[in-house]
Amino acid sequence: MSDRVVPPAARQRRRPTRQGVVLSAELIVDTALRLIEEHGADALSVRRLGRALGADPSSLYRYFRHTDDLMLAIADELIGRTLRSWRPTGDWIADLRDLGLRMHAGALAHPRAAVLSAHRVTGRAHEIQAVESILGVLRRAGFPGQEAVRIYHAFVDQALAFGALDSAGTALPRAAREAEAEVWRTTYGRLAADSHPHIAATARHLVTTMRTSSYPAALDLFLTAARTRLAELRAGTGHPRPH
């Protein structure tokens, strides 16, 4: 797509496409998301999208100015899908743990899109809702403003980073994933104790544990640290950290 801009009032198609569907921003995003999972970043072309939608490629400019505009909409849609299934309970530790796991699962459900969008800031409705909701959870828990932002920043970056990392692994061909998993047994599991005593002593744990994501464990460690930080602030032993 180019940097062409179409006024918002002109962004509504009133006639069905050749496939009998009426174009909308939501339909384009859903179709682009599907194509990304099938073809990767190359799916974000007006020609391929137009063909999948049964529409003239130029009609896509009624909804998105260029490819990056569409990519931001896809990133925001992934956030929205996570938020739609999240229901805070008032227990801030449990709520953040639940949200983090949902974010991670959402990334694995759309691994190629997750890798492309994890680093983006959309400034759109779902992202704004997520920032407001998470900061609300933290401030109601008792974190002052600056600390709430620090915890928010670390929480979101951790979830997005693990989502992208694990999604990249998921996007590998199955044979490659299985071969890499076998390295822990065939290489690390056979190292001698006299040359690699610590690996040898923990080899059976490496074989079983390294095949799965460490995000749940990392999330629990992060939340434990956050809870400790809040206790310090309440006790007056922890001072807001400098910029």
| The pLDDT value given to residue 170 | 86
Range scoring the smallest mean pLDDT among 16-20, 99-103, 135-139, 217-221: 16-20
Residue 190 has pLDDT above 80, yes or no: yes
pLDDT digits (tens, 9 = 90+) for 45-70: 899 999 999 999 999 999 999 999 99
| The pLDDT value given to residue 18 | 61
| The pLDDT value given to residue 6 | 43
Task: Report CA-CA distances (Å) from 170 to 18, 27, 84, 105.
Answer: 35, 26, 24, 12
Angle at 98 between CA 33 and CA 84, to 5 degrees: 45
pTM, to two decimals: 0.86
Give all domains of the chain, ordered by start, each with its CATH number.
8-65 (1.10.10.60), 78-171+213-235 (1.10.357)
Instruction: Return the percentage of the chain with pLDDT > 90, whole number.
Output: 81
